[in-house]
Amino acid sequence: MNSSRTPPPREKIRLQKVLASAGLGSRRACEVLIDEGRVEVNGRIVLEQGVRVDPYRDTIRVDGETLRPPRRRRYYAVNKPVGVVCTHNDPQGRRRVIDLVPGGDKLFPIGRLDRSSGGLILLTDDGDFANALAHPRYGVEKTYRVRVAGRPAMKELSKLVRGIHLAEGFAKAESVRIKQRYAQSTELEIVLREGRNREIRRMLARLGHKVQQLRRVAIGPLRLGKDLPTGAYRELTADEVRSLRRASSGSASRKSTSRRRKSRSGQRSGKADRPTPRAGSRFPVAARRSGPVLNLVTDEEKR
């Protein structure tokens, strides 16, 4: 089943922003064009600032020349099945996540989920948007449901929060929670702010617990709902795109603030910032998260 619902109405944009995006100058310079009566929208001269337009539907002219509408960016949420790859070019000819969306060859995935993992992944043709969500410096939270072999104790799992050394460097989870225990396995919720290749699998392997099932259930504020079954896709709403942009800018702002605080603290104490402590050192077990803790276990899942 493909969930390709009708795209939501687009938000109108200030006229001067549309003109600036078309390369007609700074926003201030474009405001002057409007003041001088040189801009028409749907055949009417605009003299007021702040008029909002739809650049895809409205006809906009400057000095009598029609502006070409900008290329409409595409944003999709996909519930990736296990066995589907995220690479754009696959020499082995396996099914790719971009094959799940019509016209997907012009899209690319934001980040990766390995072939053995499933769940939420975003596809887009907007490079800036993709970079803001995927780059570690922005620290957008990704939430995973992980089923592991055995029954690890919380004390053992806390090592993931303190940090574990992998081949390419120090890796740590933002938070870890035990969601459900079974006879011979345990279901966890793990939140990361960065995503190395097979990071969760390798971190848990260091603790001696093999991952049996892994799926991503959230990226920032966007959650995988029951309206998007495995293998389905849907276009993101304008509100969802804005919410994801805010999440990336908010995370970057928190990181910047944290660095400034550490710098000021180091200056007051006369000490430079210390390196990240090694695994096994004395380090707070509980991870701090902004906002309330969200319980993602439903009654159906518990049964």
Alpha-carbon distance of 33 to 47, in angstroms, equals 9
Distances (CA, A) of 48 to 14, 31, 45, 61, 67: 11, 9, 9, 15, 19
Q: For position 278, what pLDDT does the model report? A: 41
Banded pLDDT at 250 (limits 50, 70, 90): low
Q: Is 208 left (phi over 0), alpha (psi -120 to 50) or beta?
A: left
Banded pLDDT at 260 (limits 50, 70, 90): low
Residue 257 pLDDT greater than 60, yes or no: no
Q: For position 277, what pLDDT does the model report? A: 41
For 160-171, write each residue's pLDDT tens digit: 999 888 888 888
Read off the pLDDT of each residue in 232-249 and give the average, rounded to a whole number. Answer: 93
- Token pair in block for residue 79: 């519930």
Task: Evaluate whether 88 touches 112 at the Cβ level (below 8 Å).
Answer: no
For 77-118, write each residue's pLDDT tens digit: 999 999 999 998 889 999 999 999 999 998 999 988 999 999
For 183-216, write each residue's pLDDT tens digit: 999 999 999 987 777 899 999 999 999 999 999 9
Domain spans of the chain? 13-66, 73-139+224-262, 141-219
What percentage of the chain reaches a pLDDT higher than 70?
A: 79
Please name which of 90, 88, 94 lies closest in space to residue 106, comparing C-alpha atoms: 88
Task: Evaluate whether 289 touches 251 at the Cβ level (below 8 Å).
Answer: no
Alpha-carbon distance of 162 to 282, in angstroms, equals 9
pTM of the entire predicted model: 0.68
For 19-37, write each residue's pLDDT tens digit: 987 888 888 889 999 999 9
Residue 58 pLDDT greater than 60, yes or no: yes
Instruction: Specify the range with the lowest mean pLDDT, choosing from 2-16, 73-87, 112-126.
Output: 2-16
SS (H, E, C) the chain: CCCCCCCCCCCCEEHHHHHHHCCCCCHHHHHHHHHCCCEEECCEECCCCCCEECCCCCCEEECCEECCCCCCCCEEEEEECCCCECCCCCCCCCCEHHHHCCCHHHCEECCCCCCCCEEEEEEECCHHHHHHHHCHHHCCCEEEEEEEECCCCHHHHHHHHHCEEECCEEECCCEEEEEEECCCEEEEEEEECCCCCCHHHHHHHHCCCCEEEEEEEEECCEECCCCCCCCCEEECCHHHHHHHHHHHHHHHHHHHHHHHHHHHHHHHHCCCCCCCCCCCCCCCCCCCCCCCCCCCCCHHHHC
Any idea which fold 141-219 has? Pseudouridine synthase (3.30.2350)
Task: Evaluate whether 71 touches 36 at the Cβ level (below 8 Å).
Answer: no
Alpha-carbon distance of 264 to 258, in angstroms, equals 10
CATH 3.40.50.10420 fits 73-139+224-262, yes or no: no
Which residue among 54, 58, 114, 125 is the active-site one?
114
In one letter, which amino acid is 16?
A: Q
Any idea which fold 13-66 has? 3.10.290
Distances (CA, A) of 97 to 64, 78, 83, 94, 179: 44, 8, 10, 10, 28
Active site residue 114: yes
Task: Evaluate whether 24 touches 30 at the Cβ level (below 8 Å).
Answer: yes
- Token pair in block for residue 5: 């619902």
In one letter, which amino acid is 251?
A: S
